[in-house]
Amino acid sequence: QYLDAIAEKNGGLNAYTLVTAQTALEAAKKVDEKLARGEALGPVEGVPMTLKANISTKGLETDCCSKILEGYKPVYDAAVWQTLREQGAVLLGKCNMDEFAMGSSCETSCHGGAKNPHDLSRVAGGSSGGAASAVAGGLAAYGIGSDTGGSIRQPASFCGIVGLKPTYGAVSRYGLIAYASSFDQIGPLTSCVEDAALLFDVLAQKDPRDSTCVGARCKAVPNLQNSLKGKKIGIAAEYFDGLREGVQTALEQAQSVYRSLGAELVPISIPEIKYALPVYYILACAEASSNLGRYDGIRYGRKAEHYTGVNDMIEKTRSAGFGKEVKRRILLGTYVLSAGYYDAYYKKAQLLRRKIRRAFQTAFTACDFLLAPTVPMTAFPEGFSGQDAVETYQTDICTVPVNIVGLPALSVPCGCDESGMPVGMQLIGKAGREDMILNAAYQYE
Ligand code: GLN
């Protein structure tokens, strides 16, 4: 059924960049046989799903939607895919994304952007736009994406689905092609909260192959039914600045739903949020410039055909292989790390990172979790992101703070704007407390 949906709709949505029909059918057949024998199935067994193109799959092209990794087939599976594969998940294919996960519209992909199933003239969001488009369009039961500064939550919000970014260190990054290692985290994009909770419980496991991975500190599924009576929900004024009208209205309605569920809304302030965007773009670019140094035409993917020496080869490979946005970030990152500028930019941003972390810790002394918009607007029209990089960066204002401090957050649909496009609300939890935000999202849903 899903393969039929892909055949019918992927031409318009551009959600998948690679479809693995044959192996999907084989994997499904095994599950069928098991069912015929009357054996019970595990939670993800036989469920057709998709992976973002930056999650390594052994022997299967994993190109990060970059020309530089064209044809690259990893020799090992990412931890998350290993877990899912071993538990009988059925992989339908790899999904479109912004090149190396750098972008907010999926349009920096070398394969062209993924479209929004609610309106094909709008983007699916980014960077995990393909996975969001696939799930919202009925082309997969769920997708696995990565979130460095909002790449799961923002496309989930734009496409009207659920997207969870777990606490930094909850899910193994082993085999996730790195963008900014101290921010990157893998998580699910699903059509309902229960699926997100179920996948969190499956995926959040300690992994010695990722030294920052400690696994889950809570169980999500058994806590979905908890009552919200007496729970304190922080409303930080800074998140509500400059929202589009439709988003503002939907968020106000969500707050009254929580009031009627017995929760208390607590107005708070986190002024440090104003530092979040510059801190994110300085640190993420710095880490990216280092992580992307490995694409030299020798170890992975594509190599320039004509060159005169090794330096010329590297230069030609990187010039032709990376797209404009990736080059911009490598340049920015190299600049903020260079002697003479390091103290003014990189070091200062690191100090501010600590300050923002402390501000969130203080905020959580007054409440159990925060409610905020996921994005100040609904899905952009196609081409918006290509116009002005800084303007596009600014739309990440509500999603980047939690990546800076490592907290869990999820986006849940909470209505539509005046043009019928979905609006997402964001629930932000204490470190290790995915159960609380999933519970709150489930009660809302
Ligand atoms: N839009 C953000 C960026 O361009 C987020 C990307 C991400 O989370 N991978 O960096």
Dist CA 110 CA 179 (whole Å) = 16
Residues in CB range of 280: below 8 A, 6 or more apart:
149, 183, 396, 400, 403, 404
Q: Which domain holds residue 205?
A: 1-271+371-445
The string of pLDDT tens digits covering residues 375-405 is 999 999 999 998 999 999 999 999 999 999 9
**CA 7 – ligand 1 centroid, Å:** 29
Atom of ligand 1 nearest to the CA of 329: 10
User: Which value does ipTM take for this structure?
Assistant: 0.97
Amino acid at 199: L
**CA 291 – ligand 1 centroid, Å:** 15
Residue 298 lies in a domain: no
Residue 116 lies in a domain: yes
**CA 250 – ligand 1 centroid, Å:** 24
Total structural domains in the chain? Answer: 1
Name beta bridge partners: 412.
425
CA distances (Å), 81 to each of 65, 145, 208, 253, in order?
18, 11, 16, 38
Residue 170 lies in a domain: yes
Instruction: Check pocket membership of 163 for ligand 1, CB cut-off 6 A.
Output: no
E-assigned strands of 219-277? 232-236, 264-268
Q: Are 400 and 149 in contact (CB under 8 A)?
A: yes
Atom of ligand 1 nearest to the CA of 126: 1
**CATH number for the domain that contains residue 95:** 3.90.1300.10
Residue 265 lies in a domain: yes
Dist CA 253 CA 117 (whole Å) = 25
Atom of ligand 1 nearest to the CA of 154: 1
Per-residue pLDDT tens digits of the chain, which is 445 residues long: 999 999 999 999 999 999 999 999 999 999 999 999 999 999 999 999 999 999 999 999 999 999 999 999 999 999 999 999 999 999 999 999 999 999 999 999 999 999 999 999 999 999 999 999 999 999 999 999 999 999 999 999 999 999 999 999 999 999 999 999 999 999 999 999 999 999 999 999 999 999 999 999 999 999 999 999 999 999 999 999 999 999 999 999 999 999 999 999 999 999 999 999 999 999 999 999 999 999 999 988 889 999 999 999 999 999 999 999 999 999 999 999 999 999 999 999 999 999 999 999 999 999 999 999 999 999 999 999 989 999 999 999 999 999 999 999 999 999 999 999 999 999 999 999 999 999 999 999 9
Residue 114 lies in a domain: yes
Is beta strand 142-147 parallel, antiparallel or unpaired with respect to 185-190?
antiparallel
Residue 154 lies in a domain: yes
Instruction: Check pocket membership of 147 for ligand 1, CB cut-off 6 A.
Output: yes
Instruction: Check pocket membership of 107 for ligand 1, CB cut-off 6 A.
Output: no
Whole-structure pTM value = 0.98
Instruction: Check pocket membership of 105 for ligand 1, CB cut-off 6 A.
Output: no
Give the closest residue (by CA) to ligand 1 atom 4. Answer: 103
Instruction: Check pocket membership of 102 for ligand 1, CB cut-off 6 A.
Output: yes
Nearest of 87, 11, 9, 17 to residue 50 by alpha carbon = 17
Residue 38 lies in a domain: yes
Instruction: Check pocket membership of 155 for ligand 1, CB cut-off 6 A.
Output: no
3-state SS assignment for residue 413:
strand
> Around Cβ 192, how many Cβ atoms within 10 Å?
16
**CA end-to-end distance (rounded Å), the chain:** 27
Dist CA 276 CA 273 (whole Å) = 5
Residues in CB range of 328: below 8 A, 6 or more apart:
389
CA distances (Å), 124 to each of 114, 326, 364, 382, in order?
6, 20, 32, 9
Instruction: Check pocket membership of 151 for ligand 1, CB cut-off 6 A.
Output: yes
CA distances (Å), 300 to each of 61, 92, 106, 176, 296, in order?
12, 25, 23, 15, 8
Residue 200 lies in a domain: yes
Dist CA 385 CA 329 (whole Å) = 15
Nearest of 93, 79, 3, 80 to residue 44 by alpha carbon = 80
Give the position of tokens 């169980």.
219
The string of pLDDT tens digits covering residues 128-143 is 999 999 999 999 999 9
**Residue 126 DSSP code:** S
Residues acting as catalytic residues? 52, 127, 151
Is beta strand 115-116 parallel, antiparallel or unpaired with respect to 232-236?
unpaired
Nearest of 435, 412, 434, 372 to residue 156 by alpha carbon = 412
**CA 104 – ligand 1 centroid, Å:** 6
